[in-house]
């Protein structure tokens, strides 16, 4: 960048570059969060709609204490599928 721009334009170009980097990251974080929550909600709703609401509301921290041993494996699979969906979506959203 410094090789192509006049010296007086370098600070402005650097500021614009940093703005675009931060803006892109924040937009992708919002999109990734929505993808994760919607996929997790649909995966957990197939198990139990009340379970889905309580798990999504509580988060993943106390997940093992919230569900029974029989339900733990399908719930962890739902989390895994949701996280994989976010990572697979990343390259398609990278413009």
95, pLDDT greater than 60: no
Cα separation of 36 and 31, whole Å?
A: 9
- Domain coverage including residue 73: 31-93
CB atoms within 10 A of CB 93: 13
Name the pTM for this structure. 0.75
Establish if 20 belongs to a structural domain: no
**What is the rounded average pLDDT for all residues in the chain?**
86
Establish if 82 belongs to a structural domain: yes
1, pLDDT greater than 70: no
Radius of gyration of the chain (CA): 20
Model pLDDT, residue 57: 83
Cα separation of 12 and 18, whole Å?
A: 10
Establish if 23 belongs to a structural domain: no
90, pLDDT greater than 80: no
Q: Specify the number of domains making up the chain.
A: 1
Q: What is the pLDDT of residues 20-75, one digit of tens each?
A: 989 988 888 899 999 999 999 999 988 887 888 888 888 888 888 888 898 889 99
CA distances 39 to 11, 25, 26, 69, 72, Å, are 42, 21, 20, 22, 17
């Amino acid at each position: 960048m410094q090789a192509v721009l006049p010296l007086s334009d370098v600070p402005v170009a650097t500021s614009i570059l940093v703005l675009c980097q931060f803006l892109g990251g924040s937009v992708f974080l919002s999109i990734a969060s929505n993808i994760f929550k919607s996929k997790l909600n649909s995966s957990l709703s197939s198990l139990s709609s009340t379970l889905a609401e309580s798990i999504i509301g509580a988060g993943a921290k106390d997940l093992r204490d919230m569900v029974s041993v029989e339900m733990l494996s399908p719930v962890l699979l739902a989390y895994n599928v949701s996280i994989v969906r976010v990572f697979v979506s990343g390259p398609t959203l990278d413009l």
